[in-house]
A and B are shown apart, each in its own frame.
Chain A
Amino acid sequence: DGGITQSPKYLFRKEGQNVTLSCEQNLNHDAMYWYRQDPGQGLRLIYYSQIVNDFQKGDIAEGYSVSREKKESFPLTVTSAQKNPTAFYLCASMVGKSGNTIYFGEGSWLTVV
């Protein structure tokens, strides 16, 4: 089945550690996105990428990093510089570069302990 796979679904991290969230899509979509969702709040854009080997910061990129070495993969690293990393993270993708429907993965819960 085609879709967007995020892993792990649940992740616990100790303070001061980096952690990487995986996002893989087999939809042959060009653009990929990472959003953060906090309880009772909307989605905030962290990073997005429209083509391989290129990505742009969103509204809350500080403390995060990404890479886009392959079209189907867009991993997000939450670094120790992110002060409040506990959140629900959603990966998404879209065919083309703009103006089309965004499709979402099932999300990853990150808890810092």
Chain B
Amino acid sequence: AQSVTQPDIHITVSEGASLELRCNYSYGATPYLFWYVQSPGQGLQLLLKYFSGDTLVQGIKGFEAEFKRSQSSFNLRKPSVHWSDAAEYFCAVGGNNDMRFGAGTRLTVKP
């Protein structure tokens, strides 16, 4: 069965600094990979997704992620973090029947 690991529970970065959130997955075939963002008490919003093709995918709000098959990773990056990026971020892997989410990484942005 597919699974997702987000090793960092909580990350704090300064506004303007770069960001990388880690995601590792386990899946027997080529996975469908997603990053979602959640503000407190709200649903999840899709940031970006990878299905096939170019391994570097661009998303909304200036985010990008790179699929690395050899490392089973799909890390999320942003070159310059804004205070409004503070939220919970979830990596997910989809297969034939359902989708599995990681435990999430909470991002705090310092002024």
Instruction: Give the B-binding residues of A (Cβ under 8 A).
Output: 4, 33, 35, 40-43, 45, 48, 50, 56, 58, 88, 90, 92, 94, 97-107, 109
Contact = CB atoms under 8 A, between A and B. Distances in A.
B51 A90 contact: no
B42 A107 contact: yes
Interface of B: 6, 9, 32, 34, 36, 41-46, 49, 51, 90, 92, 94-104, 106
A48 B96 CA distance: 12
Given A42-B90, A43-B90, A99-B32, A48 B97 contact: yes
27 contacts: A33-B98, A41-B104, A42-B102, A42-B104, A43-B101, A45-B99, A45-B100, A48-B97, A48-B98, A50-B97, A58-B98, A88-B41, A90-B44, A97-B97, A98-B97, A99-B94, A99-B96, A100-B94, A101-B34, A101-B46, A101-B49, A102-B92, A102-B99, A104-B36, A106-B42, A107-B42, A107-B43
- A interface: dominant SS: strand
B44 A99 contact: no
A109 to B, nearest CB: 8
Contacts of A101: 34, 46, 49
